[in-house]
Amino acid sequence: MPHLARLLAQNRDWARTMQEGTPDYFSRLATQQAPEWLWIGCSDSRVPANQIVGLEPGEMFVHRNVANLVVHSDFNCLSVLQYAVEILRVKYIIVCGHYGCGGVKAAMEPENHGLVDNWLRPIREIAWLHQEELVSIPDGPSRRDRLCELNVLAQAIHVSDTTVVQEAWRQGRPLSVHAWIYSLRDGLIKDLGYRVSSPEAVENFRRR
Ligand code: CO
């Protein structure tokens, strides 16, 4: 129990500090959230979405799962996406992976990890698709890092292909999808160059 008590005590300290800094902080946040960004990231505890991009509560809508996957039959992720795009009207969707992702590593290993292997299956498919490039990278960690990048790019394409995003573009709404990757080593994010805001741009990226 002392471990949990510590969290609750820290919460009280935090709430007091925020209130002292800005007296209407909570009343303002409680009545509205108007985030411009949707973040789809990994559940990894070392990649806290808001914190690494310097955003406060209320500024970014967040969905996280193991290995930042966007699966077309995952109602959880799709519901977050729909709410973010249709109700909150976010302008930017960022899929952010990270180097050294345990999910990506597990997907490449031959051993059985149980249930999670089903979830990670799409990453194996990505590895098969890019097998030629991946086998040309001699050392294991670099090969895994490249697969982390390829996974983020694939998931950003999945986001772009969803009915939610396609419909927003059909209506001519400003909405762009981005693929980023975070390094646990230096805390820096790299833009993987996927910046797409129309169905044509997705096709162009696919054809590269
Ligand atoms: Co991860």
pLDDT digits (tens, 9 = 90+) for 170-195: 999 999 999 999 999 999 999 999 99
Report DSSP state, residue 28.
H
In degrees and rounded to multiples of 5, residue 106 shows phi and psi of: -60, -35
Beta-bridge partners for 92 = 37, 176
CATH H-level superfamily of 35-206? Carbonic anhydrase (3.40.1050.10)
Give the catalytic positions in this structure. Answer: 42, 44, 46, 98, 101
Residues with CB under 5 A from ligand 1 (ion): 42, 44, 101, 103
- Average pLDDT over every residue of 137-148: 96
Ligand 1 centroid to residue 134 C-alpha, Å:
19
Mean pLDDT score of the chain, rounded to an integer?
A: 96
Question: Ligand 1 mean position to 102 CA, how many Å?
Answer: 5
46: left (phi over 0), alpha (psi -120 to 50) or beta: alpha
Dump pLDDT digits (tens) for 30-49: 887 889 999 999 999 999 99
Q: Which residue has the tokens 């795009």?
A: 85
Reported as a pLDDT band with limits 50, 70 and 90, residue 1 is low
Q: Which residues pair with 71 in a beta bridge?
A: none
H/E stretch holding 161 reads helix 140-161
- Give distance in angstroms: CA of 108 to centre of ligand 1: 13
Q: Which of 129, 70, 130, 140 is nearest to 105 (CA)?
A: 140
Q: In the prediction, which pLDDT does 80 show? A: 98
Percentages helix, strand, coil for the chain (3-state, rounded to 5) are 50, 15, 30
Backbone φ and ψ of 77, nearest 5°: -60, -45
Contact yes or no for 156/96 (Cβ under 8 A): no
CA of 8 to the centre of ligand 1 (A): 27
Decide: 92 and 165 in contact? Cβ < 8 Å.
no
Residue with tokens 């500024």: 59
pLDDT given for residue 151 in this prediction: 98
How many Å lie between the centroid of ligand 1 and the Cα of residue 150? Answer: 14
What is 175-204 written as a DSSP string?
Answer: -EEEEEEE-TTT--EEEEEEEE-SHHHHHH
Residue range 73-116, pLDDT digits in tens: 999 999 999 999 999 999 999 999 999 999 999 999 999 999 99
- Residue 109 CA to ligand 1 center (angstroms) comes to 15
Query: Domain residues of the chain, as ranges?
Result: 1-32, 35-206
